[in-house]
Amino acid sequence: MTIIVHHLENSRSQRVLWLLEELELPYTVKRYERDPRTMRAPPELKAVHPLGKSPVIEDDGLILAETGAIVEYLVEKADGRLGPPPHRETVLRYRQFLHYAEGSMMPPLLALLVVNRLGLLGKPAKGAIQGMLDEHLDWLETELAARAHFACDEFTAADIMMSFPLEASAARGGLDGSRPRLHDWLQRMHARPAYRAALSKGGPYAYA
């Protein structure tokens, strides 16, 4: 049965399309557009999952939300391709970055988005939040000094998970050429054929 991806424009769900392309698993896309005023997901998504969020996938009767859980499910479905490398240290690093992307890096990015929308009201908090995000970016820059990708020298699903917070950082969080390893990593990810194929399936994406 073909996997259905409930895909919201300019969102974390772009990573799911990318992973499916890398794994060469068959899928179809049901695309949703944000409310142009609030930028929130449309109410139609609540008919798929009570939280009304994206990504959500449907596969042979299963409905699954949460990007990290979806990534783990798809890697398992593909017999472990792009999953944890076969050494304990790299397995632990793979798991770390798989969960770090959403658990640690996204909160300051979301906070920065909110304070930017508040204009002058948000200005007092902006410096502190940017400082928190800079700590993350500085650490990630040093991580890529040791290897080509986040878990190891090989491309894994952990890189796919890390893509969205780093793309968002490049768009609004100060990530630029002053952190050359992260900048180069993003360029390499965007050049992957499967990444480009996912863009063609998912529609316009502001962070590519």
Reading the chain (208 residues) residue by residue, the pLDDT tens digits are: 799 999 999 999 999 999 999 999 999 999 999 998 888 899 999 999 999 999 999 999 999 999 999 999 999 999 999 999 888 999 999 999 999 999 999 999 999 988 988 888 888 999 999 999 999 999 999 999 999 999 999 999 999 999 999 999 999 999 999 999 999 999 999 999 999 999 999 998 999 8
Domains of the chain listed by start with CATH number: 3-82+194-202 (3.40.30.10), 88-192 (1.20.1050.10)
Cβ count within 10 A of residue 172: 14
Coil, strand or helix at 94: helix
Cβ count within 10 A of residue 192: 16
Q: Are the CB atoms for 151 and 158 separated by under 8 Å?
A: yes
> At which residue do the structure tokens 């990318």 appear?
18
This prediction has a pTM of 0.95
> Per-residue DSSP letters for 130-198?
HHHHHHHHHHHHHHTTS-SSSSSSS--HHHHHHHHHHHHHHHHS--STTSHHHHHHHHHHHTSHHHHHH
Between the alpha carbon of residue 63 and those of residues 43, 182, 200, the distances in Å are 17, 34, 24
Report strand pairing: 27-32 vs 56-59.
unpaired
For the purposes of burial, counting CB atoms within 10 Å of the CB of 126, is it exposed (0-12), middle (13-18) or buried (19 or more)? Answer: middle
Cβ count within 10 A of residue 205: 14
